[in-house]
Amino acid sequence: MANLAQTNLRSISKSKGVQGYKRQKHIWAAIFLAPWVIGFLMFFLIPFVRSFYFSFFELEGTPEGIIKTFVGFHNYYYALNEQVTASTSFRVELLNTTLDAIINIPVLLIFSLFIAVMLNMEFKGRAFVRAIFFIPVILNSAAVTSALGGGDLMATLLEEQGINQIFDLEYYLLQTGMMPWLITFIVGLIDRIYAILSLAGVPILLFLASIQSVPKHLYEAAKIEGATGYEMFWLITLPNVSPHIITVTVYALVDTFLTSSVSQIISEELGYSDKWGQSAAMAWIYVTIIMMILLLMAIIAKAMKIGGSHYEE
């Protein structure tokens, strides 16, 4: 009986400890979220709702104020079917950006995690190499992008000389008999190298911080048991890093859309006083696409049990 009572007391105390830990997590989560919630309610909520309201009107700015004419979903139809620029359109750029995000995010996750694991190793000049991978974040400006885009001029000159196929990877892969869809995918990934590098700086730091937070005794115990580096990565590193995959994915998704030409098109439309309603409709289409991708990510994360704490399971 005494042993049974002690067992019950231990289970009760353990249950209380778990509940206390979860309550503490909720309290700290509320504390960290409070500044964002307060800022959103004070500065963003009213413009957020008003922009949705304005997306159903044709707006005209006058000295007396804004004249509103209800047009229903015409602004949304205009954004998806009629809006064009000198060389493209809102719909084309939105589709391209969405496809880029869907392709870039998995590649970015794999690349960032791989580099973070490499940078976590002990070698000379490690701090310098880490700085190199973070440089694109610091230099991610319009001037640098324009300078790096100078490669287009070189490609044009090579094409005029008839020797552009020396550097044409797609041409050489076609000669190997590889399937066309696979060649297109490989060449597309290579064309995205600059985009991946420019987005990878912060994800690498997040993954690196996550890897360094893994208790060292787990690796020491694994080494004693004879585990290889490959086994330690899949059984220790990856499970402990997985809660940060969602954070990195959300960051990459938002950064991809913010730096895309879609934002520029919306800003240009906003510059015309007679297209404020159309600009608001474009912004809401833009937000809806992002929310749909985030919802899809949440479903995938839930199905694959990604994002939970590895120690609580």
CATH number for 110: 1.10.3720.10
Amino acid 136: pLDDT: 66
Q: What is the pLDDT of residues 138-192, one digit of tens each?
A: 665 544 555 555 445 545 555 555 554 445 666 666 767 777 767 776 776 676 6
Torsion of CA 78, 99, 96, 272, to 10 degrees: 50
Other C-beta atoms lying within 10 Å of the C-beta of residue 75: 26
Q: HEC states along the chain?
A: CHHHHHHHHHHHHHHHHHHHHHHHHHHHHHHHHHHHHHHHHHHHHHHHHHHHHHCCEEEEEECCEEEEEECCCHHHHHHHHHCECCCCEHHHHHHHHHHHHHHHHHHHHHHHHHHHHHHCCCCCCHHHHHHHHHHHHHCCCHHHHHHHCCHHHHHHHHHHHCCHHHHCHHHHHHHCCCCHHHHHHHHHHHHCHHHHHHHHHHHHHHHHHHHHCCCHHHHHHHHHCCCCHHHHHHHHHHHHHHHHHHHHHHHHHHHHHHCCHHHHHHHHHHCCHHHHHHHHHHHHHHHHHHHHHHHHHHHHHHHCCCCCCCCCC
Q: Which of 307, 304, 297 is nearest to 242 (CA)?
A: 307
Full domain range(s) for residue 259: 85-303
Confidence of residue 122 (pLDDT cuts 50, 70, 90): confident
Amino acid 296: pLDDT: 86
Find residue 67's DSSP bridge partners. 60
Find residue 69's DSSP bridge partners. 58
Cα separation, 107 vs 203, in Å, equals: 12
- Residue 35 predicted with pLDDT over 90: yes
Q: Considering only 75-89, 106-120, 143-157, 228-242, which range has the smallest mean pLDDT?
A: 143-157
**42: in domain:** no
**76: in domain:** no
- Residue 276 predicted with pLDDT over 80: yes
Amino acid 64: pLDDT: 77
The share of the chain scoring above pLDDT 90, in percent, equals 4
**210: in domain:** yes
Report how many domains make up the chain.
1
Sign, CA dihedral 252-253-255-260, equals positive
User: Pick the residue with more confidence: 244 or 159?
Assistant: 244
Q: Considering only 114-118, 153-157, 195-199, 228-232, which range has the smallest mean pLDDT?
A: 153-157
Amino acid 308: pLDDT: 57
Cα separation, 140 vs 252, in Å, equals: 14
- Residue 56 predicted with pLDDT over 50: yes
Amino acid 150: pLDDT: 46
Q: Which of 43, 72, 48 is nearest to 58 (CA)?
A: 72
**211: in domain:** yes
Q: Considering only 17-31, 185-199, 219-233, which range has the smallest mean pLDDT?
A: 185-199
**252: in domain:** yes
**28: in domain:** no
Scanning the structure block, which residue is given the tokens 């076609």? 174
**16: in domain:** no
User: What is the mean pLDDT of the segment spanning 195-199?
Assistant: 75
Cα separation, 112 vs 127, in Å, equals: 17
Amino acid 31: pLDDT: 93
Amino acid 34: pLDDT: 93
The per-residue pLDDT of the chain, averaged, comes to: 77
Q: Please give the structure tokens belonging to residue 38.
A: 């307060």
User: What is the mean pLDDT of the segment spanning 289-308?
Assistant: 80
Cα separation, 185 vs 232, in Å, equals: 31
Amino acid 206: pLDDT: 85
**Range ranked top by mean pLDDT from 10-14, 33-37, 93-97, 212-216:** 33-37
Q: Considering only 141-150, 164-173, 225-234, 279-288, which range has the smallest mean pLDDT?
A: 141-150
**34: in domain:** no
Model-level pTM greater than 0.85?
no
User: What is the mean pLDDT of the segment spanning 79-87?
Assistant: 80
Amino acid 220: pLDDT: 87
Scanning the structure block, which residue is given the tokens 């912060």? 202
